[in-house]
Amino acid sequence: MTILVTGATGMVGRHVVAELVRTGHRVRALTRTPSAASFPDGVEVVGGDLLDPPSLEASLTGIESIYLFPVGRMARDVVATAKRAGVRRIVVLSGALADTDDSEDGYLAVERAVEDSGVAWTHVRPGEFAANWLDWAPAIKTGRVVRRPYGAAVTQPTHEADAAAVAATVLVEDGHAGRTYTLAGPEALTVVAQVAAIGTAIGATVRFEELDPVEARAEWIGNGYPETFVDWIFTLWAESARDPAPTNQEWAETVPRLTGRPARTFARWATDHAASFR
């Protein structure tokens, strides 16, 4: 059985490819730019765009299972194309807060498109990705500093490789149809603690500088972030800083329960990505 991995060069998709290859499965990797892609030996690389469902038809030949990267606008057309081609199982990369966003491009739109198709489905819902810290890499590289509000806010960062391991597992195992798996890292950490972990990983002191939320909001919007997103994320951070939540054990246990391996810590993630911050 060959498994189609969409978004195969993405943050999670490339790990899904690697995990499937590691466990001996045949993989067809879908990317918009096949000539620029680099995958393990034996991976079949094909071109296609989830925003252009007809471009996927050739890549779906002989495919029964798909890892689906979330592109909400065209999800129903993509899923319909896959079903016509004979696909019988779709694993969706979604998000822990999917239920709060029913917009056209939201995770929930993709989940509903797959559920309504009649194809066997499984949703993988990671929490906040540790990789969000890569947005701060330039400031850490040039000034060894992170400037943002709500340093006391707590999150439970998820290593992208753990999300991929869960997706790869449910792609090839039976018994996961109709299930939704929410997952997160094994520990709840303040922003300040996460900054310190990055510093440890690169062998340098990285300072955290607390910003006034009003000034930070204006700066973020001025830098091009949508106002609705800024207000949403700042509200989450403010609530967490006021009332930090403990580690969500149910989410933390998803990775080891499904993969048989411990979830990776944020310190491990920082070490894995140290080159991005040096």
Assess if residue 167 is contained within a domain.
no
What is the separation of C-alpha 127 from the centre of its chain, rounded to a whole number of angstroms?
8
Q: Is residue 256 part of a domain?
A: no
What is the residue whose two structure tokens read 């998709």? 13
CATH number of the domain enclosing 225: 3.40.50.720
> What is the tens place of the pLDDT at every residue in 84-142?
999 999 999 999 999 988 788 889 999 999 999 999 999 999 999 999 999 999 999 99
What is the tally of structural domains in the chain?
A: 2
Task: With cut-offs at 50, 70 and 90, classify the pLDDT of residue 221.
Answer: very high
Evaluate if residue 273 carries a pLDDT over 90: yes
Query: Quick one: pLDDT at residue 104?
Result: 80
Report how far apart, in Å, the C-alpha atoms of 16 and of each of 12, 70, 166 are: 6, 14, 9
End-of-domain residue from the set 105, 125, 145: 125
139 and 271, same domain (yes or no): yes
In a domain, 171, yes or no: no
Examine residue 168 and state whether it is found in any structural domain, yes or no.
no
User: Per residue in 41-50, pLDDT tens?
Assistant: 999 999 999 9
Averaged pLDDT, 237-241: 95
pLDDT of residue 119: 97
Q: Is 176 inside any structural domain? A: no
Same domain membership, residue 151 and residue 70: no
Q: What is the pLDDT of residue 227?
A: 94
Residues 241-261, mean pLDDT to the nearest whole number: 96
- Is residue 51 in some structural domain? yes
- Write down which residue in 77, 102, 125 finishes a domain: 125
* Per-residue pLDDT tens digits for 19-62: 999 999 999 999 999 988 999 899 999 999 999 999 999 999 99
Q: Supply the range of the domain harboring residue 57.
A: 2-125
Both 64 and 151 in a single domain?
no
- Backbone conformation region of residue 251, classed left if phi is above 0, alpha if psi is from -120 to 50, else beta: alpha
Say yes or no: 44 and 152 in one domain: no
Which pLDDT score, from 0 to 100, does residue 200 have? 98
Chain-centroid distance, C-alpha 152: 24
Contact in structure between 120 and 88 (CB atoms under 8 Å): yes
State whether 16 and 105 are in the same domain: yes
Q: Is residue 177 part of a domain?
A: no
What's the mean per-residue pLDDT of the chain?
A: 96
For residues 116 and 196, membership in a common domain is answered with no
- Same domain flag for 137 and 270: yes
Q: How confident is the model at residue 82 (pLDDT cuts 50, 70, 90)?
A: very high
Same domain for 83 and 49: yes
19 plus 107 within the same structural domain: yes
Distance CA 113, CA 133 (A): 31
**What pLDDT sits at residue 102?**
78
Q: Is residue 175 part of a domain?
A: no
User: Average pLDDT in the 67-95 region?
Assistant: 95
Which residue type is seen at 50?
Answer: L
Predicted local distance difference test score (pLDDT) of residue 115: 97
Among 73-87, 98-112, 193-207, 224-238, the minimum mean pLDDT is found in: 98-112
pTM score: 0.94
Residue 127: closest CA among 185, 211, 79: 185
pLDDT at 7 over 90: yes
Same domain, 7 and 116: yes
Looking at the structure, tell me whether residues 114 and 205 fall in a common domain.
no
User: Residues in the chain, how many?
Assistant: 278
Residue 79: pLDDT over 90: yes
| 104 shares a domain with 146 | no
